[in-house]
Structure 1
Amino acid sequence: MYIFDSILAAYGWEGAALAGVLLLLLGVQLYHYVFVCGRIPGYKNDRRAAVLDAEPPVSVVVPMFSEDYGFVEERLPLILAQSYPDFEVVIVYVGQDGDFYEDLARLKASFPQVTTTKIKLDPRFPISRKMALNVGIKSAHYECMVFTSTDACPQTDRWLSLMAKGFRRGEIVLGYCGVERGKGAANYLMRAWRMMHSVDWIARAVQGRPYRGTLHNFGFTKSIYFGANGFTHLNMNIGEDDLFLQRVMNPDNVSVILSPRATLREKTWGGMGWWMSQLRYYGSSYRFYPQRVRSGIERELLSRTLFFASAACALAVLPLELKIGAGVLLAVRYAAVAWQVRRIARRLGEEGMAGPYLFYDLLEPLWALLLRLRLMRRDDRVWR
C-alpha cells in the first residue's frame, strides 16, 4: 500500500494508470507469443494416437484454370518426383483449349500416375474452384487426398510422404505454404503476412482447436467429404479451406504436419496491389467464421496496437524514469517476439524473417485496418 501511494504521489493517477496498462498489455502479448505460438516449434504430430497402421496411397488433386505451361513444365515435375511409392496426380483442367488438354492427357504415357479430366469452360456458367475439386475428388482412385494449386511448388521430394504420414493420425491433414522468396520489402511483407497469419491457425490446430488450413497444402479423406455432403457455402467461390473445414474439423480428426521438408511455396504474380487484391478476395470468408475464432484472431492485434500506442504516449509525456521503463518493456516484448519468430520460421522452413521483423510488426496493424476497410465493400468475384 505504501508503494502504491508513493507511485500515486510521484506520478499521479494518469502516470500510474498508463504504467499499469502497459504491464497488462505486455502480459497479453507475452502470453500469445510464448504460450500460444510457442507450441509450434516443439510440436510433434506422432504424439497423437494412430488410426492407420501405415502410410496410405494418396491422390494429389490439382485444379487448373488456365493453359498454364509453367505449371506443366516447372512445378508438376516436382510433384511427380516425390519420394513416395503409391500416389497419383489428378489434374482437373477447366478451359476450352482442346490442344492443351490433349497435351495434358499425353502425360499419362510417360507418367502412369497422372489422371486428367476436363470441365469445358462456358463464360455463361463460371466454374468455381470448389466445383473443379468436386470433379477431382470423384475422379480420384484413393481414399486419402491432398489438395494443392498450380501456383504452389514443393520444396523437397519429401513433401508428399510427410503429408501422407499425417493420415496415419487424422482424417484431415494440414500443411504449410509460404510465399516464394524474392527481393525487396514488398516480398518480405508478403512472406511475413503469410507466415504470421498461418501461425494463428496452426497454433490453434496444435492446441486441438482447429478452424482452417491453406488451400495450397491440405488434405482429407473421401469419407469426410461425402459424409458432409460435399463443400459448403456453394454461393461462394471460396471457402473450401476454411468454411468447409470448420464444418468437419474436430480436435480428434486433424493432423498437423510441420516441417521445412513439407513446406510448399506459392508463386507471386505481382506486387503489393496484387497481394492486397488476393487478401481481399480470400478474406471475404472471414465474416462467416465463428465468433470465438474471430475474437481470438483480433485479440492479439488489438492488444499489440494498444501496447504500441500506450508506449508511445508514455515516451511522450511521462517522466524520464517511466520513459526508460516503457523503453525496457518495448525491448522485452520485441526480444520475446523475435525469439519466437526465429524458432517458428525455422520449423516452417522460412529464412531471414526474424531480423527485419520489427518493420512488419509495427506496420501490420495499419495494414490490417486498410484490409478491413476494403472488406467492407462487396467483392463480386467471391459470389456466384
Structure 2
Amino acid sequence: MPEIALKPISVIICARNEIRNLEQYLPSVLHQNYPEFEVVVVNDRSWDGTEEFLEAWEKKYDHLKVVKILDNDKFLAGKKFAVTMGIKAAKYDWLVFTDADCTPAANNWLFDMQQPANEEIDIVLGYSPYLKRKGLLNALIRFETFFTAVNYLGFALKGMPYMGVGRNMAYKKSLFFKNKGFASHMHIPSGDDDLFVNAHANKHNTEIRLNQESHVWSEPNHTWAGYLRQKKRHFGAGKLYKSKHKFILSLQIVMQFLFYGFFIGCMFLSREAQFTAGGILLLSIIIKCFVYPRLLKRLNYGDLRWWFPILDILLFLFLTINGFLAMFGKKKVNWK
C-alpha cells in the first residue's frame, strides 16, 4: 500500500431506497483515512426517507455531496443514469465506486484504491466479498463470488482484464467521458461496471488490488428470488462482452457441463465405466483440495473450504438453470 496520498478522490455511491444501508455503512466511507476526498451519493428517486437522511448528513459533512434524481419521463431511468450523474457531479478525476450496502474492510481503503503513480493506469479493479450469513443461499452466493473473483482478477493479472465489480473499483473521469460513458450499452439495465471495464480495460491501463485493507464487504441477497434477479441482470450484460472474452467464459461453462455430463452418463453404463468416472471425479476433488483452500482463505472465504465440492456442483446447476430462465424469461429487469 502506498504510504502517501497521491491525488484527491471522488467516491461515488448510487442509492435507491437504501435508508437502512446508508445509516449503517455510509459512516465507514465518510470516515476514511485519506487527506483529500469527497463522497458523492446519488439519490435515485427514493421514497423511503433517504432524501431527508442525506440532506441532514450533507450539513454535517463538508466532503459529502448529494445528487438528487427526480421522477421524469423524459430520461431513461436506471443505475447507469445515476452513475453518470454522480460522475458529472464529481470534482476530482479519480473516481472510486462502491454501493450503499457496502463497507470498506479498513479505514485505509482509499489509500489502496487511489490513482497509481503510473499515469498510464486508468482502471483499478478491487475485490468485494459478501458478508457471512446463515443458510445455503449465503454459502452459494459467497462461493459464486469467489469463483468470479478468481476468474476476473486472475485474467487481469495475465493481462486480459474483462470485468470488474461496481462494489469496489476505480477509474478516471476523463476515461469515462473520452469514451462517451455508457452510450454503447445504455439499453442494458446492468453493466455499469463490467461492460465499461470490458470495453476499455487492457493489459497496459489496468491494475488489481488484493490487499486485505482494499477489500469492501457487501450485504448479500437474502432471498432466492433476489439472487435470481441479480444473476439475470448479469447474464444480460455478458452478451455484450468482447468476442474473445465470451469465448473463454463460454468454454469454461461447456467444459464443466461436459465433465458432469460425462460423470452422469457413465453411471448408466458398465461397472468399469462407473469406477472410471468416480475415479476422475475424485481426482478432480483432490486437485482442487490443494488449490481452493488457499484461494478461499486469501479471498476471505476460508469457512467454505470444507464445502466446496458440494457448492461447486450446486453452483453449476444453479447457473445452468438461471441461464435458461434468463434466455426465455421476461426481458425487462430493473436495477432496484
**C-alpha deviation, 1:319, in angstroms:** 5.3
Quote the residue 2:84 is aligned against: 134
The 3-state SS of whatever aligns with 2:302 is coil
Quote the residue 1:260 is aligned against: 212
**C-alpha deviation, 1:87, in angstroms:** 1.4
Q: Is the 8 A contact 1:200 1:297 kept in 2?
A: no
Identify the match of residue 228 of structure 1 among 179, 191, 198.
179
Aligned partners of 1:300, 1:100: CA distance in 2, in Å? 42
Q: More relative contact order in 1 or in 2 (CA 8 Å, sep 6+)?
A: 1
Quote the residue 1:174 is aligned against: 125
> What amino acid maps onto 1:83 in structure 2?
N
Deviations for 1:94-144, whole angstroms, at most 9, x for unmatched residues?
226697535423324432211112121236755221111111112111110
Worse-matched range after superposition: 123-132 or 265-274: 123-132
Q: Is the 8 A contact 2:42 2:85 kept in 1?
A: yes
User: What TM-score does the superposition give when structure 2 sets the normalisation length?
Assistant: 0.88
Aligned partners of 1:55, 1:311: CA distance in 2, in Å? 54
The 3-state SS of whatever aligns with 2:237 is helix
The 3-state SS of whatever aligns with 1:137 is helix
Matches within 5 A, 1:335-350: 335-350=286-301
Quote the residue 2:70 is aligned against: 120
**C-alpha deviation, 1:352, in angstroms:** 1.0
Quote the residue 1:374 is aligned against: 325
Aligned partners of 2:201, 2:178: CA distance in 1, in Å? 12
> Between Structure 1 and Structure 2, how many residues are aligned?
331
Q: Is the 8 A contact 2:28 2:107 kept in 1?
A: yes
Aligned partners of 2:48, 2:243: CA distance in 1, in Å? 47
The 3-state SS of whatever aligns with 1:177 is coil
Quote the residue 1:150 is aligned against: 100
Deviations for 1:286-323, whole angstroms, at most 9, x for unmatched residues?
12222221221122232223223334445664555x75
- Structural RMSD (CA): 2.7
Q: Is the 8 A contact 2:141 2:220 kept in 1?
A: no
Structure 1: any 5+ residue segments left out of the alignment?
1-44, 47-52
The 3-state SS of whatever aligns with 1:353 is helix
Worse-matched range after superposition: 292-301 or 250-259: 292-301
Q: Is the 8 A contact 1:59 1:141 kept in 2?
A: yes
> What amino acid maps onto 2:65 in structure 1?
T
Rg: which structure is higher?
1
Worse-matched range after superposition: 135-144 or 330-339: 330-339
Q: Is the 8 A contact 1:84 1:160 kept in 2?
A: yes
Name the CA shift for 1:55/1:329 in 2 (closer, same or farther; >3 Å). Answer: farther
Name the CA shift for 1:190/1:127 in 2 (closer, same or farther; >3 Å). Answer: same
Quote the residue 1:292 is aligned against: 244
Structure 2: any 5+ residue segments left out of the alignment?
none
Aligned partners of 1:154, 1:188: CA distance in 2, in Å? 21
Quote the residue 2:141 is aligned against: 190
Name the CA shift for 1:312/1:79 in 2 (closer, same or farther; >3 Å). Answer: same
Per residue, is there more helix in 1 or in 2?
1
Name the CA shift for 1:209/1:373 in 2 (closer, same or farther; >3 Å). Answer: same
The 3-state SS of whatever aligns with 1:376 is helix
Aligned partners of 1:72, 1:247: CA distance in 2, in Å? 31
Aligned partners of 1:72, 1:324: CA distance in 2, in Å? 55
Identify the match of residue 101 of structure 1 among 46, 51, 57.
51
Quote the residue 1:33 is aligned against: none
- Post-superposition, which runs of at least 4 consecutive aligned residues in structure 1 deviate over 4 A? 96-100, 123-126, 165-169, 312-316, 322-326
